[in-house]
């Protein structure tokens, strides 16, 4: 049985539509592995989402299937933080609805530009 592509398994994936240019977004970085864009509901002065071009549901799945894409995602997140908030940032991956994941295409939230408290949430 042929493997079904990641795009075919998730035709309504909002982030795949952004990556494909079918849904408008403010793109801040794009390369062969990842795309970064401004969050439409920012939770901090800097709030950028970094997503792999291929769909993986969560960060553990991405790490297992494409460690190079995960490494690039983290590298791009750091570059964005360096440029926009002096390198100080929080990189967040939500896994599951109970912790706030609403789009099931792994994405790192680059958050910065303000003080954060601990614990989060």
Is 107 catalytic? The answer is yes
Displacement of CA 74 from its chain's centroid (Å): 10
What is the C-alpha separation between 18 and 114, in angstroms, rounded?
27
What is the Cα–Cα distance from 103 to 94, expressed in whole angstroms? 10
Single out the catalytic residue among 89, 105, 107, 109.
Answer: 107
DSSP string, 31-72: -SSEEEEE-SS-SSSEEEEEEESS--SSHHHHHHH-HHHHHH
Nearest to 87 by CA among 101, 77, 98: 77
Residue 58 to residue 66: CA distance in whole angstroms: 12
Active site residues: 107
């Amino acid at each position: 049985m042929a493997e079904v592509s990641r795009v075919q398994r998730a035709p309504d994936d909002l982030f795949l539509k952004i990556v494909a240019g079918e849904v408008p977004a403010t793109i801040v970085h794009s390369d062969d592995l990842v795309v970064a864009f401004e969050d439409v509901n920012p939770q901090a002065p800097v709030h950028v989402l970094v997503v792999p071009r291929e769909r993986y549901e969560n960060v553990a799945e991405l790490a297992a299937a494409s460690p190079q894409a995960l490494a690039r995602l983290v590298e791009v997140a750091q570059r964005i933080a360096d440029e926009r908030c002096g390198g100080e940032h929080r990189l967040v991956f939500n896994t599951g609805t109970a912790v706030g994941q609403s789009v099931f295409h792994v994405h790192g939230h680059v958050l910065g530009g303000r003080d954060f408290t601990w614990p989060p949430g």
